[in-house]
Amino acid sequence: MVQNRYHRSESPLSSESNSIIESMNKACRYSPDEKKERIERYRSKKTQRNFTKKIKYVCRKTLADSRPRVRGRFARNDEIEKAIEQECTSGGGGEEGFDDNEVDDNWMSNFLDSFPQI
């Protein structure tokens, strides 16, 4: 009698774990009504998705907009001075030895060449 009391199949924990293991082995299939409800819920949530950018902190956005930038990145005062000096020494941003129209033509042809020919 003492041996039966400690037998593994009769303990409440083992019967509970066995039922959990059995439920894990079976694939959970939904009834047709449950399946329709779940598909309906998925489709309704899919239509409500919002991928637009939402600004959480307006004060941070205004501060970032007011800060000086160089090439799209925030810049320090000394970096701003260097950027201004480089623009002044480069002669207005044009390339040396090229006519402005020639540079524009080269840019356009390079752009068109990047697409595959039909």
pLDDT tens per residue, range 96-111? 555 555 555 566 667 6
Sorted by where each begins, the domain ranges of the chain are: 53-89
pLDDT tens per residue, range 35-89? 999 999 999 999 999 888 888 999 999 999 998 888 888 888 787 778 888 878 8
CA angle, residues 24, 26, 31, in degrees to nearest 5: 115
Residues pairing with 70 in the sheet: 73
